[in-house]
Amino acid sequence: MWTNEGSDRIGSDQIKCNNPISSLLSAEKMDIYATNPGPIDDSVLYDQDKHVSAAVWEGQERGALRCHEHTSKLDQWTLTSKQVELVKKAGFGYLRLIPAISLDNPLISALVERWRRETNTFHLTVGEMTVTLEDVAYLLGLAIDGEPVIGVTYTTCEAGCVKFLGKAPDSGYTSGGMVKLSWLKETFSRCPEDAAIEDIERHTRAYLLYLVGSTIFSTTTGNKVPVMYLPLFENFDQAGKYAWGAAALSFLYRALGNASLKAQSTISGCLTLLQCWSYYSLNVGRPKLNHDPIHDSFPFVLKWKGKQSGPTANRDVAFYRKSLDTLKPSDVEWRPYANINHKVIPQEMKNSLNIGRSKTMLICFDKAERHLPDRCLRQYGIQQTIPEDVPRWERKSRGVDGGIDLSGKMESELSEWSNRRLHIVDSAEDVDESEYTHWYLRITRKLVGRPIPISSEFQRMNTALRDIAHLADTLSTHGMDDQQIYSVTRIRYIAHECLRDQVGSLTITVNSENELGKSVRGKERVRRKGMGKRKRRDDPEEYNVAGEDAQSQLCDTTVDLDAVEVDHSRLYPVHDEIEHSHLCLPPAEGDGAQPCDPASTVHDSQLCHVANNVDDSHFRHTAKQADHNQSSLAPNECGSQLSHAAIELVPQLSLETSNEVAHKNDYGVLV
C-alpha cells in the first residue's frame, strides 16, 4: 500500500529530532525488523512466495500432511535363509530389520514448514540443519558410497515383471510403469523352502521391490512402486555396489521440497528416517523410551522400536510449529551419535563415513538433489562459517519413453557424484561464528507462525496508522522550512491513503425519481465500494488477511441506512474546491425552506472521488481549518430527501486515534 509513494521516502535529516512523527516512524521501523519473519535478504530463499510458510503467515492452514509410508505389512513377508542371504548381498540386510514405526504426522508437517528446497536444509532458529548422508548411514544402515542408482525407465509393467519376476500382474494391479504393492505381497510373500534357485531369486527381487517401494522410495500414490528398480536387482552382488543410502536421501529431499510448496497436502519418501532424525537431533516431540538392549543395536533407528511413552494428545501442527519457532540452542543435539557405542557399527560403514561430508549431487533415477554439508558444519563438530552460494538449478522430471537409459540425460549430475571425494568439507581456521549468525538472521525465515493472530496484527497496524494520521493532522508546522512542511504533508497523505485502503470507501445508493423535491422511494442502502466483490476462489490469501477483528471495523456489505448512526456534527466537504453553492441538500421533512434551485443541482461529473482528486496542498490546512470545514454543514441541512441518486461516504479518520478506535461509525460525507 506504500509503493505508490516509494519515491518520496523520509530521511532522518529531513525532520527535527524532536519531531514526534520522526520518533514514531523510527519506533515502527525497529518493530518491523523485530517481528519480520524474514527473509530480509531474499538472495538465498528466493522462492519464499511459493513456500507453505507464506500461506501460514497469511492464516491459511493446510493441516497435517498425509504421510505415505507403507511399512505396516512388511512383517507379513516370510523369508527363507537363502533369501535373507541374497537380501544382505543386495545391501538391504539392515533396512529389512527396521520395524514399522508409528509416524507423527503433525511433527513431520511442522518440519516440512521449515524445509527449504533452495538449500535442502531445515531453516531453524539456531541455524541450518539437514538429514545428511552420515545420518542415513547411522540410522538406516544403507550404503552412502558406491555407484549411482540410475537406469532404464519403464512405461508399462508387463515386460519388466515377466523378465525379473517370471510373471506379470493383471491390468487391475498396474498403472503405467508402476505395480501395486498388494500384488507383490499376495504373489511372492512366501517362498517354498524347496524352491529352485531361479524361483528364490524371483521371490527375493519381489521382496526387495516391495521393501524399497514401502520405505525409502515410497510414493504419494499410496500403494504402488515403479518397476524400474527391478533391473538393479537382477544381479544381487552388483546390487550391493549401489549407493542406496544416497538415493534414499535424494528421494527424501525431493519429497520434502515438493511438500514444502503451498498447494501440497501429501508427502512420501523415507519418513521413518526423517522422524527418527528429528528424535535424535531436536528435543521437539521426542518420546520417552523404556530402556531396552535393542536401543544399542545397529542401525540406530532401532532405538525407537521399544515401547514409547509420553504425552501426545493435543500435539497438532500448531503445537510443533510453535516449538520450532521458539527452539533454543539447548534443544538441539548437533552430534547425537557421539555417545553411542560405535563398536556395533559395521566396519564397511565406518570406512565410508567420510563421504558423509561430501558436497555433491545425490541421484535416484530422475531425481538429482544437492547435498550441502557446508551449510550445517556443526552437525559434523565443525564451527559454522558463511557457506558458499547455492547455484540455482531447475528440478526437472525427466520422464521419457520406456527403454531409455537416464544416464545419457544426466551427465553433469553424474559427473558431480563421480567427483564426490574431491569435495569433502573440512574445518576452517579462526572462525568467528558471530559473522555467520548475523548473516543467517538476514537470509532465513525466522518465524513460520505469527506471534499474535492476524486479526490482532491488523488492529495494531490500523491503530498505529491512526496515531500517525492524528499526529500529522495536529502537528504545528510553525518554524519548519519548506522541505520539512512537505515531508509532514506527505506523511499525512500516506497515512490517510493507507487507512482508506484498509477500510474502503462507502457508497450510498438511493432509489429516487428524476424530479427534484419528490419523495425518495425504496430503501436506502449502504454498500461498501470495492469491498463487496466476491473474492476469486483461486486467490484465497486476499480474503483471509483482514481477520475477524478487522472485519468488525468495516460496515456490512449491505445494511439499511437507518441503522447507520451518523454524527452530523462531523460531516464535512472533503475537497476545498467544492463550494457551498454546489451542495444541493433537500430540506428535512417539515422544514419550510424551499428546495434548492435546479440550476445548482449536482451532476455526476461533480461527484468527486477522494482517492483520485486529493491534492497534497489539501493537507497543508491546520486542524482548526478542518474543524471549521466540519462545522460548515449544519445537522438540519441533511434531510431524508436527496437531490441525486448517489452520494459517497468516506470514513472520517483524521481525528481518530488509538484512544478512539471504538468509535467506528463516524463518517464524512463527500458529495
pLDDT at 608 over 70: no
Q: Inter-axis angle of helices 158-165 and 197-214, to 10 degrees?
A: 130
Closest CA to 304 of 318, 321, 286, 322: 286
Residue type, 552: S
Q: What single-letter DSSP state applies at residue 32?
A: H
d(CA 357, CA 498): 51
**Mean pLDDT throughout 613-635?**
41
DSSP 14-26: SS-TT-HHHHHHH
The torsion angles phi and psi of 456, rounded to 5 degrees, stand at: -70, -35
pLDDT at 430: 82
Average of per-residue pLDDT values in the chain: 76
Q: Check residue 35 and give its pLDDT.
A: 66
* Best mean pLDDT range from 9-23, 485-499, 506-520: 485-499
Share of the chain residues as helix, strand and coil, in percent rounded to the nearest 5: 45, 10, 45
Contact at 8 Å (CB) between 379 and 387?
no
Q: Is the pLDDT of residue 588 over 50?
A: no
Alpha helix stretches (DSSP H) within 120-235: 133-140, 158-165, 181-188, 197-214
The full DSSP string for 382-396 is ----PPPPPPP----
pLDDT given for residue 370 in this prediction = 97
CA angle 89, 92, 93 (to 5 degrees): 75
pLDDT for 65-120, tens place per residue? Answer: 999 888 889 999 999 999 999 999 999 999 999 988 899 999 999 999 999 999 99
Nearest-angstrom CA–CA distance, 563 and 179: 66
Give pLDDT tens digits for 355-383: 999 999 999 999 999 999 999 999 999 99
Q: What is the domain partition of the chain in residue ranges? A: 3-30+451-670, 67-443
Lowest mean pLDDT among 213-217, 449-453, 574-578: 574-578
What are 20's three cell numbers?
514526534
CA–CA gap between residue 387 and residue 381 (Å, rounded): 16
Q: Which of 510, 470, 401, 493 is nearest to 154 (CA)?
A: 401
- The number of residues in the chain equals 671
User: Exposed, middle or buried, 525 (CB in 10 Å: 0-12/13-18/19+)?
Assistant: middle
In this predicted structure, the answer to whether residue 4 has a pLDDT above a threshold of 60 is no
Q: Measure the CA–CA gap between 194 and 185, rounded to whole angstroms.
A: 20
For 177-193, what is each residue's pLDDT tens digit? 999 999 999 999 999 99
Of 204, 215, 199, nearest in space to 73 by CA: 215
Kindly provide the b/e burial profile for residues 383-416, where b requires at least 16 CB atoms within 10 angstroms of the residue's own CB.
Answer: ebbbbeebeeeeeeeeeeeeeeebeeebeebbeb
State the DSSP code for 440: H
Q: Residue 109's closest CA among 275, 222, 283? A: 275
Residue 37 has pLDDT above 80, yes or no: yes
pLDDT digits (tens, 9 = 90+) for 266-287: 999 999 999 999 999 999 999 8
What's residue 429's pLDDT? 82
Run of H or E including 174: strand 174-175
Looking at residue 573, its pLDDT comes to 39
State how far Cα 356 lies from the chain centre. Answer: 29
Grid-cell match 512466495, residue found: 49
**Hey, what amino acid is at 212?**
V
- The confidence score (pLDDT) of residue 108 equals 97
Q: For residue 225, give the nearest of 184, 167, 165, 258 by alpha carbon.
A: 184
pLDDT for res 293: 56
Contact predicate 509/646, CB 8 Å: yes
Nearest to 246 by CA among 320, 89, 398, 355: 355
SS3 127: strand
What stretch of H or E contains 194?
none
